[in-house]
């Protein structure tokens, strides 16, 4: 058994994959999931979605958010997923979004560096949790910002990572890229406008060779890159993107979890034979993050 360490990565590559933990895709059967706590969540004005909610007259209700968070946890349990909650810190209002403070790879999690001042303390409880679960850390980003909402283990051998210059910087991206390429994997970088927060607002992996993309909001080059790799693209409209309509978690075995308000993607997934699990998390998505944002896969069965 591999014991906890702060650096499992071999500098020259050929790092040993983990056995109990790790993922090699975004669509293998999900068994274990790290989820952020709802305890101290509130909308922060550092992203366009929160500002839009306030501008439209929406009001945050903590009790509703907590009920919706529990509904989501119950849905994961019903789907056979074991959830592991990060410990709550009153100083971290966006700790709920566990996607961003680390990213899982076949060789263990990368602990990231957060961009926003109110999120920079999140690494502490993430590392404590990995230590408690005895999951060795692959390595820790130090060169710049990198957030997990930009990072996707698209399929075995391929990482897709966006960088806007804010939540993920070129320096943070390049540090991660140099590590992963030494393991023999491809890293595809995609630069986009920071208005969209993270790449998972625009792109989601649904199943083997099936992705959801807001074609109107990404560069044609990215669409062509997917097509060249024989991915089928489900196109999602721009208005749905503004309601986090592409923010989805693939559970494996042609099952996906997405917000109940996400009617467009829900219908298109069902039309392709996917089973849809759709908890109501509208009080949370209004603050700028959906089901994908709230979790980090700890273990999936090999794709």
In a domain, 55, yes or no: yes
Which residue ranges in the chain fall short of pLDDT 50?
none
Q: Within a domain: residue 8? A: no
The CA-CA-CA angle for residues 226, 227, 232, to 5°, reads 85
Query: Sheet of 232-235: strands edge to edge?
Result: 203-207, 210-213, 232-235
Can you tell me the distance from the alpha carbon of 165 to that of 187, in angstroms, rounded to the nearest whole number? 17
**Residue 20 domain-assigned (yes or no):** no
4 within domain boundaries: no
pLDDT at position 1: 55
The pLDDT tens digits of the residues spanning 279-298 come to: 999 999 999 899 999 999 99
CATH of the domain at 53: 3.75.10.10
37 contacts 217 by C-beta, under 8 angstroms: no
Asked whether residue 241 is assigned to any structural domain, the reply reads: yes
State pLDDT tens for residues 40-67.
999 988 777 889 999 999 999 999 999 9
- Number of domains forming the structure of the chain: 1
Nearest to 164 by CA among 123, 115, 122, 206: 115
CB 145 within 8 Å of CB 16: no
Residue 2 is predicted with a pLDDT of: 72
Q: Kindly list the distances between the CA atom of residue 78 and the CA atoms of 7, 162, 205, 277, in Å, as whole numbers in the listed order.
A: 35, 32, 21, 10
CA torsion sign for 291, 293, 298, 303 is: positive
The parent domain of residue 142 ranges over 30-300
Q: Which of 144, 136, 100 is nearest to 121 (CA)?
A: 100
In a domain, 1, yes or no: no
Measured between alpha carbons, how far is 168 from 294 in angstroms, rounded to an integer? 18
Residue 19 maps to a domain: no
Reported pTM: 0.96
7 within a domain of the structure (yes/no): no
């Amino acid at each position: 058994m591999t014991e906890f360490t702060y650096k499992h990565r071999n500098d020259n590559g050929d790092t040993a994959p983990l056995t109990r933990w790790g993922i090699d895709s975004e669509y293998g059967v999900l068994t274990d999931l790290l989820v952020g706590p709802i305890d101290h969540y509130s909308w922060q004005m550092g992203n366009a979605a929160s500002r839009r909610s306030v501008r439209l007259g929406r009001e945050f209700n903590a009790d509703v958010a907590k009920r919706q968070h529990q509904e989501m946890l119950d849905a994961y349990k019903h789907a056979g997923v074991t959830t592991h909650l990060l410990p709550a810190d009153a100083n971290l209002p966006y700790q709920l979004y566990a996607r961003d403070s680390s990213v899982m790879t076949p060789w263990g999690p990368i602990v990231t560096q957060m961009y926003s001042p109110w999120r920079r303390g999140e690494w502490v409880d993430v590392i404590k949790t990995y230590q408690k679960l005895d999951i060795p850390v692959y390595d820790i980003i130090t060169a710049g910002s990198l957030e997990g909402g930009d990072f996707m283990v698209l399929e075995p051998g391929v990482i897709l990572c966006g960088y806007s210059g804010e939540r993920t910087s070129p320096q943070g991206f390049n540090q991660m890229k140099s590590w992963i390429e030494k393991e023999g994997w491809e890293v595809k970088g995609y630069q986009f406008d920071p208005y969209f927060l993270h790449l998972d607002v625009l792109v989601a992996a649904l199943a083997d060779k099936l992705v959801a993309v807001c074609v109107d909001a990404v560069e044609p080059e990215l669409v062509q890159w997917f097509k060249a790799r024989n991915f089928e693209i489900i196109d999602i409209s721009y208005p749905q993107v503004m309601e986090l309509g592409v923010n989805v978690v693939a559970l494996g075995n042609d099952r996906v979890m997405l917000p109940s308000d996400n009617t467009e993607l829900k219908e298109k997934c069902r039309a392709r034979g996917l089973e849809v699990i759709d908890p109501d998390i509208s009080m949370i998505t209004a603050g700028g993050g959906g089901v994908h944002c709230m979790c980090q896969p700890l273990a999936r069965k090999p794709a």
